[in-house]
Structure 1
Amino acid sequence: MTTIHVIHENDAWLAPLRAAFGRIGTPFREWFVDRGTLDLRVPPPEGVYYNRMSASSHTRGHRFAAEHTGAILAWLRRHGRTVVNGPRALALEISKVAQYEALAAFGIDTPETIAVVGREHIGEAAQRLGFPLILKHNRGGKGLGVRLFLSAAALDEHLGSEAFEEPLDGITLVQRYIAAPEPFITRVEFVGGRFLYAVRVDTSDGFELCPADQCAVGKVCPAEAKGPKFRVIDGFSHPLIPRWEAFLAANDIGIAGIEFITDRDGRAWTYDVNTNTNYNPDAEAAAGVSGMEAIARHLAALAAAERKRAA
């Protein structure tokens, strides 16, 4: 029996995947990555490995979990193991700069961005970019450091206060704010590198966009939310789907959620690639779909293919 191994650092986020494996009757093993040892003298166990390491792992006390995972993925690849979301996926998960540059290679628009190291340089970068703008962390997750600024005065006040959050990797992104005609963004889910479904996410109460843990980062629009915050879009299609799929294939990403926003001119701006994607249970229940079950079935199919090759 080919074993499925799931690498992760957040027990709560794994619960829906455990349930999905149970529904389809497929056993798997969990590899909780925080501290520990990695013996490079011996080969890793046979099997299929799924990397669910998150850019926000340090916010849960797992400061070096991503670095530990990077070492594990290098070890797995050295020995030819099947890895879903491998080293390149991890590199993009922990760096939005890397994401944007990789997306640009496929002609996918991302918001104008200036990467800044050093709080003292943020104001000058903001003047070059212009207002309104958003600050965010390069190594993000959970909306870390995301704040909207309408003026230089508001930004200066923030930079001089204790509210300013130093990014883990030292890189703050100064980014053009995209004004949408309606308060929502779209999150497009991919499993096995292929489009699964898309979710409309209401941003009336701010950018609380994480489906699993409601990553609140402050109000942007005072309008009241209309209907459910997360809603699976029936019959979604978009001309960028082939480009997103090509981008994922070229960057070792099998499972991801990609977020974009459409401006007043109808232009789509892709601003986040989440390789540790989660799903909203209420939205899925209403639509009769299951992202975690799609992942479980995908991993089970990979394991079956490995067993067939080994026979």
Structure 2
Amino acid sequence: MTKKIYVLHENNEWTIHLEKRLQELSLPYELWHLDEGTVNLNEAPPEGVFYSRMSASSHTRDHRYAPELTGAVLAWLEFHGRTVFNGTEALTYELSKVKQYLQLERFGITTPKTVVAVGKARIVEAAKQLHTVPFITKHNRAGKGLGVQLFYSIEALEEYLASDRFEEPVDGITLVQEYIKSPEQFITRAEFIGGKYMYSVRVDTSEGFELCPADACQIGDLFCPVGEAPKSNMKFQVVENTYPELIAKFEQFLAASKIDVAGIEFIVDAEGKTYAYDVNTNTNYNADAESIHGTYGMLELAKFLGAQLNK
């Protein structure tokens, strides 16, 4: 049987661009859509290279247990010694910002001050413990800006929690976090393939965004550099790496966390201090920004997977 590249995922819209690149390079591949399925632990998996694109926001597409199924599949693959990229450990980081932040801090990467809470009363308590305003809330298991709200007072938070606007996190965990303001109103997303830095994309957050600039590229499709669908050239720009020490720390973090493909988002405050706030192991790319720069993330990813298959 011919060895293949197997792509594990739950969203065709985020996979079609990689599929096109695999076809372009004439690489054998197969998609495993894991919104539901079975795993026969009595049989060995096929030979090949396996790459997981499972997303923390799968439940918003009615794929509530896709990450759990993917976790079972990844454990099965790793038990049989298959080559897996973004495997079981990487998945745990995708599903928990708490784990992301603690691991980032372990490698000397500053993250926003954060207090973890379960229960509405505890969310208020967490905000008081934070001792800073304004502050934001967000979901621990998230993506797409789930649960992100900006507050200028405890009273405003209490009003939100009592309203029908409150979103219950899928894992029950709400994060209360200091608000980091970027004076130039942009965030930066550093992209990595095979654990190595590829490029950075600057995302303009100045238009139509009133919540938290630090999460602008996750607030729905308008702000998210998803796939290779055209967006405004001015909103997404591939930029030179002006933070080499930070990028080096990111690479160390990825290697230690067994994350092979990721986009890491960070913001710079008025004093020039950087804060990393999201690690996305289901990273996507922007067509317009890439066409100007001449580097294509999905093409580089397909080349990487092809090289691993041929090893």
| TM above 0.5 | yes
Query: Please, which moves more after superposition, 100-109 or 236-245?
Result: 236-245
Q: Which residue of 2 aligns with 1:151?
A: 153
Determine if contact 2:233/2:289 at 8 Å carries over to the other structure. Answer: no
Aligned residues: 296
Offset at residue 214 of structure 1 (A): 3.1
> What 5-or-longer segments of structure 1 have no aligned partner?
217-225, 306-311
SS at match of 1:128: helix
**Following superposition, which runs of at least 4 residues in structure 1 exceed 6 angstroms of deviation?**
none
The answer as to 2:279 corresponding to 1:279 is: no
Determine if contact 2:139/2:174 at 8 Å carries over to the other structure. Answer: yes
Amino acid at match of 1:73: L
Q: When the two structures are superposed, what TM-score results if normalisation uses the length of structure 2?
A: 0.92
Q: Which residue of 2 aligns with 1:75?
A: 76
The answer as to 2:203 corresponding to 1:201 is: yes
For 1:167 and 1:210, the matched residues in 2 are separated by 16
Offset at residue 208 of structure 1 (A): 3.6
SS at match of 1:213: helix
Q: Which residue of 2 aligns with 1:213?
A: 221
For 1:119 and 1:255, the matched residues in 2 are separated by 35
Offset at residue 137 of structure 1 (A): 0.1
Amino acid at match of 2:51: Y
Q: When the two structures are superposed, what TM-score results if normalisation uses the length of structure 1?
A: 0.92
Offset at residue 212 of structure 1 (A): 8.9
For 2:260 and 2:241, the matched residues in 1 are separated by 22
Determine if contact 2:145/2:219 at 8 Å carries over to the other structure. Answer: no
For 1:173 and 1:132, the matched residues in 2 are separated by 14
Q: Which residue of 2 aligns with 1:247?
A: 253
For 1:214 and 1:90, the matched residues in 2 are separated by 26
Amino acid at match of 1:250: A
For 2:69 and 2:178, the matched residues in 1 are separated by 33
Query: Please, which moves more after superposition, 123-132 or 239-248?
Result: 123-132
> What 5-or-longer segments of structure 2 have no aligned partner?
210-214, 225-231
Offset at residue 15 of structure 1 (A): 1.1
Q: Which residue of 2 aligns with 1:21?
A: 22
Q: Which residue of 2 aligns with 1:133?
A: 135
Amino acid at match of 1:180: S
Amino acid at match of 1:65: A
For 2:55 and 2:292, the matched residues in 1 are separated by 27
Q: Within 5 A, what are the aligned runs for 1:40-59? A: 40-59=41-60
Q: Percent identity?
A: 53
Determine if contact 1:143/1:215 at 8 Å carries over to the other structure. Answer: no
Q: Which residue of 1 aligns with 2:229?
A: none
Offset at residue 36 of structure 1 (A): 1.4
Q: Within 5 A, what are the aligned runs for 1:25-44? A: 25-44=26-45
